[in-house]
Structure 1
Amino acid sequence: MAEVAVIGGPDQVLTEDEVTAFIGEALAGAGLDGRSVCVIVPDATRSCPLPLLLKAVTDALKNSQVTILVALGTHAEMSRDELRSHLGGDYPNVLNHEWWKPETFADLGTISSDRVGEISDEMLRDAVPVKLNRAVVEHDVALVVGPVFPHEVVGFSGGNKYFFPGVAGQEVIDLSHWLGALITSASIIGTPGVTPVRALIDEAASLIPAEKLALSVVAQSGTDALHAVAFGDTISSWRAAAGISAQTHVRYLDHPVRRVVSVMPPKYADIWTAAKGFYKLEPVVADGGEVILYAPHVTQLAAMHPEIEQIGYHCRDYFLGQWDKFRDLHWGVLAHSTHLRGAGTWDPVSGEHLRVQVTLATGIPEDVVRGANLGYLDPATVDLAAYEADPDTFVVPNAGETLYRLKA
């Protein structure tokens, strides 16, 4: 295992001074003076004290040429004002990952179909071209700065995931997300170690010519505080932070619950991102139970992916059983659909049977919600106090980052 420096732990909360000093010392010893550094940071859908981290990083890199690249994945572009607030100031050389522009990408090569088959335990055998934001390729060093949380596609987020899908081309995004969908969110979320999707991401990252480093942080969800920071290469740093996240961001219940109300914070602007309120709770919902996503501020299913309104939300087997009909759509969109619908079965005679009901209490019109194969609840009728008093209901404030599981 490569050398990694860590400050903090699952039972600690670091002070700003501790974080700043650790970052300064870590980067001072990394041999970055005079080198060009692309700093890859999350967008506003991830919790962490980014202004604190970025100030510490840029102060430590004052003798380096620095570009800040916002890892949008396929999320919406951030405006200048949003970036100023998100980053904590006006920094020079700030780029959105403009995934919608072909000229954004550099071609790093191809992962062969045989290698994809090996990585995926033969669930997939498709060669995949590896394309990455050219800003990463054009710098000497790629420095990932961002949090690690349980994640529905890869197990735990962070590390090389900031490259793929964070600033990657559509092909790797689609293949990696569909591989996660085949495994299923409930099976992979919060899984420690290298999952097949993590292995695919690491394989793609091995093609990046820049030196790859990471400041992987473990955030206190819902606050601007940090439990821990790990610095090293993107694999060892991520591994250390994921181990702490597994102790910090996973809660265990004694028994399944009949109903969950996930109260979604404003940082999730559409269901594409707010669906995390389902992913993180699906494992504790009883068969035949319900998850209500309470997000009155949300008015769209997916701002960047309107095709989800056409295909709707379905379980994995719904798509696999009719693969010729769906195979030419973006697999990332199909994956999102299955992740929000959860476990279920489909056959051509009896149709689709789903383990859990998903209900939206949002600002999305009822016809759009029902047309997408989801339940509808008028958010104006939601009485959170009454739900909290109901012994059959589990209300989760600030949902989306903490994973809930049943005790073994």
Structure 2
Amino acid sequence: MTIYYARGSPQDVITPRDAKEALDVAFEKLGKREKVCIVPPDYTRFHSRAGMLTQLAYRHYGEAVKDVMPALGSHEPLTEDERERMFEIIPAELFRVHDWRNDVVTIGHVPAEVVKEASCGHLDVPWPAQVNRLVWEGGHDLILSIGQVVPHEVMGMSNYNKNLFVGLGGKDAIDLSHFIGACYGMERMMGRVDNPLRRILNRAADDFLQKLPLVYVLTVIGPAGNSGGLALRGLFIGDDEECFNAAAKLSLEVNFTLVPRPIQKAVVFLDRDEFKSTWLGNKSIYRTRMAMADGGELIVMAPGVAKFGEDPDIDALIRRYGYRTTPEIMEFLKKALELQKSLSAAAHLIHGSSEGRFTITYCPGGLTREDVEGVGFNYAPLAEMMERYPPSEMREGFNDNGEETVFFVSNPALGLWAVRDRLMREGEDQGGGAKEEEQAPI
């Protein structure tokens, strides 16, 4: 087990040239390869720098790169425009589309007793370790798994073996993993490197993935000072958990913000190209919920959101059952076979609820008032909210215009926000790491 390259700090700025040199160092250590598969994230992780790194890897290995398979999970495939924007120089004929319903192989099971403990007794079934058939049976001599480590609502921290078991996993594995996370509790999970679901995936990796020539290329992305842009703060390349832990430690320093007091009103903006469904856009809820005040309001300005689910079947389930409290969804589960057969949808419905603690007002560009209110959210016209809270004039964190104070987040996918007392109530303190919000008015 090896770390081939490690660099990063909250102040570091890793340039494209630095990244190329890092990959060259790692690839030199790996030696010559003849059949390479690259597994980057999809377009919803555009800011991860994975597009750049995938292109650098392609430039290095050239014709030895036989397959590029974005880790879609249950998301929609990339459009041609998205592929060209994110991966530019890589030929279209190298791309493979992961089919989470039909094109996977089950390579083993994590025992039911482990799942039962992780799900707080709600599930007593083994967890199926599933991966895409091409990755498992393709005979590659190098599989490069590329992506960003950042706090995550289901896994605690994103990436590492999640890229294989969820990003290239099957419906059964994705359903169970999402539901286990919901049972354990999102607020107990987010920002925690070690948690029951991650231990399930780590066990599956130790037991079943050893035959694959896997190397992880992990990034940490943070704000670039006052410029409004983003910087590559960390780059870690290796083949084991130590590589992931190093990236996760830095991510907690870069991406986790402690706010000084609960937020009464938060405004979150969702980029039109990145967030096209509430399945993705509800990161606005997940990542801010531990900072929201009881009775507060979360306003989500979502010009690109025109549907609920990335998958048509899941979209229909969201419309039918809505974002309800955990007890309500658990009650639905007892009676609704269609929800029992789509536990990832049930988990998503739980995750999207504030559990009655604060209100959620969605302002989508492509859904009607009837659509939004039908799933349990409040609705406000997008144009009206964009005029009241123009994203280009808002700064990250607290803003005070003399009439009200709002907390602004320009991209919820890049961080996690919490007040310390709520964080402590939901689990052990992460210790160090989290930065304090410095923009709060007195």
TM-score by length of 2: 0.83
1:384 to 381, 389, 394: 389
Counterpart of 1:42 in 2: which secondary structure?
coil
- Say whether the 8 Å CA contact 1:38–1:135 is kept in structure 2: no
1:186 aligned partner, one-letter code? E
2:5 corresponds to which residue? 5
Query: Which whole-Å CA distance do the structure 2 matches of 1:219 and 1:189 have between them?
Result: 17
Q: Give 4+ residue runs of structure 1 displaced > 6 Å after superposition.
A: none
Counterpart of 1:180 in 2: which secondary structure?
helix
1:87-118 residue CA offsets vs partner (Å, 9 max, x unmatched) = 12233521121224x1x212312333134235
- Say whether the 8 Å CA contact 2:284–2:300 is kept in structure 1: yes
1:19-60 residue CA offsets vs partner (Å, 9 max, x unmatched) = 1101111121023x2342221100111122233212221233
> How far did residue 13 of structure 1 move?
0.9
1:30 corresponds to which residue? 30
1:213 to 206, 212, 215: 215
Give matches, 1:323-342, under 5 Å.
323-326=333-336, 328-342=340-354
1:348 corresponds to which residue? none
Query: Which whole-Å CA distance do the structure 2 matches of 1:268 and 1:313 have between them?
Result: 18
Counterpart of 2:308 in 1: which secondary structure?
coil
Query: Which whole-Å CA distance do the structure 2 matches of 1:220 and 1:288 have between them?
Result: 30
- Say whether the 8 Å CA contact 1:361–1:377 is kept in structure 2: yes
1:231 aligned partner, one-letter code? I
Structure number with the higher helix fraction is 2
Counterpart of 1:220 in 2: which secondary structure?
strand
Query: Which whole-Å CA distance do the structure 2 matches of 1:123 and 1:199 have between them?
Result: 17
Deviates more, 1:53-62 or 1:374-383: 53-62
Query: Which whole-Å CA distance do the structure 1 matches of 2:190 and 2:197 have between them?
Result: 11
1:280 aligned partner, one-letter code? R
- Report sequence identity in percent: 26
Query: Which whole-Å CA distance do the structure 2 matches of 1:374 and 1:239 have between them?
Result: 37
Counterpart of 1:218 in 2: which secondary structure?
strand
1:396 aligned partner, one-letter code? V
Gaps of 5+ in 1: 345-353
1:347 corresponds to which residue? none
1:362 corresponds to which residue? 364
- Say whether the 8 Å CA contact 1:256–1:406 is kept in structure 2: yes
- Say whether the 8 Å CA contact 2:33–2:142 is kept in structure 1: no
> How far did residue 146 of structure 1 move?
0.9
- Say whether the 8 Å CA contact 2:55–2:89 is kept in structure 1: no
- Say whether the 8 Å CA contact 1:130–1:171 is kept in structure 2: no
> How far did residue 177 of structure 1 move?
0.5
- Say whether the 8 Å CA contact 1:110–1:127 is kept in structure 2: yes
1:360-389 residue CA offsets vs partner (Å, 9 max, x unmatched) = 111211111111111111112211059852
1:240 aligned partner, one-letter code? A
2:329 to 315, 319, 337: 319
Aligned length: 394
Query: Which whole-Å CA distance do the structure 1 matches of 2:371 and 2:117 have between them?
Result: 40
> How far did residue 162 of structure 1 move?
0.5
Give matches, 1:2-401, under 5 Å.
3=3, 5-31=5-31, 33-46=32-45, 47-62=47-62, 64-91=64-91, 92-100=93-101, 102=102, 104-120=103-119, 122-137=121-136, 138=138, 139-191=140-192, 193-206=193-206, 207-208=208-209, 209-220=211-222, 223=229, 225-266=231-272, 267-304=274-311, 305-306=314-315, 307-326=317-336, 328-342=340-354, 344=355, 354-363=356-365, 364-382=367-385, 383-384=388-389, 389=401, 390-401=403-414
Query: Which whole-Å CA distance do the structure 2 matches of 1:51 and 1:30 have between them?
Result: 21
- Say whether the 8 Å CA contact 1:253–1:404 is kept in structure 2: yes
2:419 aligned partner, one-letter code? L
Counterpart of 2:168 in 1: which secondary structure?
coil
Counterpart of 2:48 in 1: which secondary structure?
coil
- Say whether the 8 Å CA contact 2:74–2:310 is kept in structure 1: no
Distance 1:65 1:54, change over 3 A: closer
1:176-225 residue CA offsets vs partner (Å, 9 max, x unmatched) = 1111111222221111x321111122233332331221010112357463
- Say whether the 8 Å CA contact 1:259–1:289 is kept in structure 2: yes
> How far did residue 289 of structure 1 move?
1.2
Query: Which whole-Å CA distance do the structure 1 matches of 2:81 and 2:383 have between them?
Result: 31
1:164 aligned partner, one-letter code? F
Query: Which whole-Å CA distance do the structure 2 matches of 1:78 and 1:170 have between them?
Result: 19
1:289 aligned partner, one-letter code? G
Query: Which whole-Å CA distance do the structure 1 matches of 2:167 and 2:251 have between them?
Result: 20
After superposition, the CA RMSD in angstroms is: 2.2
Query: Which whole-Å CA distance do the structure 1 matches of 2:285 and 2:308 have between them?
Result: 14
- Say whether the 8 Å CA contact 2:271–2:303 is kept in structure 1: no
Gaps of 5+ in 2: 422-442
Counterpart of 2:36 in 1: which secondary structure?
strand
Distance 1:52 1:366, change over 3 A: same
Query: Which whole-Å CA distance do the structure 2 matches of 1:78 and 1:20 have between them?
Result: 25
1:293 aligned partner, one-letter code? V
1:365 aligned partner, one-letter code? T
> How far did residue 315 of structure 1 move?
2.0
2:379 aligned partner, one-letter code? Y
